[in-house]
Structure 1
Amino acid sequence: MSEYQEDSLKTKKWKLHCGFDGRMSWALGQRTSLGGIKFGLIYNKKHKFGIGLYYFKNPIIRSGVELSERDYPDATDTTSYNFGYTSLFYEPIWYITRRLSISAPVHFGTATISASYKVDDTTQTVWTNYLNQNEEIFGISGVANYKVFRWLAIGSGGGYRFLLTKDARVRKALNRPIIIFQVKLMLGVLYKLALKKPIDDGWDKK
């Protein structure tokens, strides 16, 4: 263990954690982007806990989707799919230096899958929702973060998303690898810098 790691373990404190957590993944056979934000607490500079919110930046539009004419008489064959989830996360930090950290986030939560069909015979585009489905979700990944400034870090990594459902169609459509992009603001550091208070983040250790 490095001297920096030993020193960082001596001070046990809870600190605020907040960051943008964008993801690129695949769904319904095509690449898609998810926006995300996570916030919570860091304990002892080695453990992160909190809540993450994730959502499709743009819905997936598919043509050729045949719905029942009896149940949906005004439906065309064009459907819009949306997906998002809220999760609790635990993120152990395996390695940390002055600028670099490597961690392994684990997420568990609830996902919402929705679908809407495009209505036929309208002068403008109208969508009617016909599906809302909630499923449990589990995700695991590895992420590296690099501090550009004392108060700002960028990161990237990869992992896998699992929908915990018996519905084979949902698993096939959404159980996919993820590529992670992160931007993190150290709110506690910004606060202390503004008030010119001491900061025990290890930044001054060369």
Structure 2
Amino acid sequence: MEAACLSRLLLASSVLLLSATTGRAAATPAYYYDTTFVRQSHRRAVFQFDQRFSILNGKVVGINGVKGGIEWRGRWRAGLGVYRLSGGVPTRIAQPEGTPAGTRDEVRFRYLAAYGEYVFIGNPRWELSTPLQLGGGSYYTKYYFPDGGIRRTNNQFLFVIEPSIAAHYRVFRWIGLGAGTGYRQVMAAGKLPQDDMSGIIFFGRVKLFLGDLLKVVRGHERLFSQRGLENSRLRQTAE
């Protein structure tokens, strides 16, 4: 008799435990994330407007850029970018002999870069990463003469390496804003001194997550929804 009662008690306890576990799993949304890091097994395309700034020879200059690539496992990114100096950088080198007094000279450059990026901490809303860019391009010097004439030198090859640290914050599931800082080291093939183009960089980004945008459009979801981004609150609720 006591054995039968004990068996019924164990059976009832098992049923209650199973029900509680099932109920909690059902209450947890399908898009619940671990706040430690975002892990995704599939690959997705990423696209960025990458506006960079540098203080070169005492002048703040902008470098306009755009880049795109592939992200996989939510941790690694790689791709290509193209950049162009938006304005000239005043040089510090002596002008060629015979140059009229009052002549102004500026360096201009552009380059193509391959980049790799490692995300070492983050969640669906924000992340911190370490991008590294390696690229090559060309530069030239432009001379503005007092009489209004303009002359430019031939293009010279340059090599660029840019280590940096960056962060971004997703405003919505498919778009985010980012910023970061780093250093640009330029190695030139000509006689131009490197400090005309090398220096500290700081940048702002608008990141478009094409894969997530396609999912939102195809799934007829609300374009400005916060779905999938409230992971901290969801985890607290679930716990």
SS across alignment from 1:190: helix
**Higher helix proportion (structure 1 or 2):** 2
Q: Identity of aligned pairs, percent?
A: 23
- Alignment TM-score, normalising by the size of structure 1: 0.81
1:38 paired with 2:86, answer no
- 2:228 & 2:177 partners in 1: Cα distance? 18
The alpha-carbon distance between structure 1 residues 62 and 165, as it changes in their structure 2 partners (threshold 3 A), is: closer
1:75 Cα deviation from its structure 2 partner:
9.5
CA RMSD of aligned residues (A): 2.9
- 1:141 & 1:159 partners in 2: Cα distance? 4
Q: Give 5+ residue unaligned stretches, structure 2.
A: 1-32, 222-226, 235-239
- 2:80 & 2:188 partners in 1: Cα distance? 22
> Which residue of structure 2 lines up, in the alignment, with residue 132 of structure 1?
155
1:192 Cα deviation from its structure 2 partner:
1.4
> Which residue of structure 2 lines up, in the alignment, with residue 144 of structure 1?
167
- 2:149 & 2:93 partners in 1: Cα distance? 17
- 2:199 & 2:93 partners in 1: Cα distance? 23
Find the partner of 1:155 among 178, 199, 211.
178
1:90 paired with 2:107, answer no
Code of the residue aligned with 2:202 in structure 1: it is: I
1:78 Cα deviation from its structure 2 partner:
2.0
- Alignment TM-score, normalising by the size of structure 2: 0.71
- 1:117 & 1:195 partners in 2: Cα distance? 53
- Bigger Rg, structure 1 or 2: 2
1:180 paired with 2:203, answer yes
Code of the residue aligned with 1:130 in structure 2: it is: T
**Higher strand proportion (structure 1 or 2):** 1
1:112 Cα deviation from its structure 2 partner:
1.7
> Which residue of structure 2 lines up, in the alignment, with residue 68 of structure 1?
97
Q: Give 5+ residue unaligned stretches, structure 1.
A: none
- 1:202 & 1:92 partners in 2: Cα distance? 22
> Which residue of structure 1 lines up, in the alignment, with residue 127 of structure 2?
101
> Which residue of structure 1 lines up, in the alignment, with residue 23 of structure 2?
none
> Which residue of structure 2 lines up, in the alignment, with residue 191 of structure 1?
214
